[in-house]
Amino acid sequence: MKQIFLSTIILLATASFIFGQTNSNRMSKDEKAVRQVLDEIAAALGSNDADAIDRIYTDDSTHVYTSGVVLTKAQLTSGMRSGYVKFESLSRDEVRVRIYGNAAAAVSRITFKSKIAGQEARGQYRSTAMLVKIKGRWQIVAGQATTIAEQK
């Protein structure tokens, strides 16, 4: 169970930190909107706001974690609502957002610290979030996270 919720943290953090440093004058309206959604996720994670996450993810969203476990939005948010998962810090870099019509892909490197069932969880991951514009609103439909191996 801890592995599943560690993966949950990774994916949520991934989505939250896929906004990055680009020249806003060169960003399209859609890229700005996607980055705004990702800012909202960051704020929701910072306050452990599962209701906000619930609004931002589609009901049928799926997420593949570092262990290969696939979870739904309901499973993602239940860990936050129960207090099983608590975020302490999140950061991001190496961010890329690409827009393809009504779809977007966002890739970044994230670093996080949290507690799962009272035990510290931390790490660095490469993550991807897929978003779709539905009725004029960008939402996350899928996500994936991969552990970045420590380089020696």
Q: Is residue 16 part of a domain?
A: yes
Q: Report the candidate in 66, 64, 129, 62 with the shortest Cα–Cα distance to residue 95.
A: 129
Q: Is residue 152 part of a domain?
A: no
Residue, of 68 and 10, whose pLDDT is higher: 68
Q: Is residue 101 part of a domain?
A: yes
Q: Is residue 106 part of a domain?
A: yes
Token pair of 125, please?
């991951």
Residue 17 reports pLDDT greater than 90: no
Count how many domains the chain has.
1
pLDDT digits (tens, 9 = 90+) for 45-69: 778 889 999 999 999 999 887 778 8
Find out whether 104 and 131 touch, Cβ atoms under 8 Å.
yes
Q: Is residue 22 part of a domain?
A: yes
pTM for this model (two decimals):
0.77
Residue 143: domain span: 2-147
Q: Is residue 36 part of a domain?
A: yes
C-beta neighbour count of 73 within 10 angstroms: 20
Residue 98 reports pLDDT greater than 90: yes
Domain CATH number, residue 25: 3.10.450.50
pLDDT digits (tens, 9 = 90+) for 113-144: 888 788 888 888 888 999 999 999 999 999 99
Q: Is residue 68 part of a domain?
A: yes
| Alpha-carbon distance values, 19 to 32, 74, 80, 147 (Å) | 9, 24, 22, 20
Q: Is residue 73 part of a domain?
A: yes
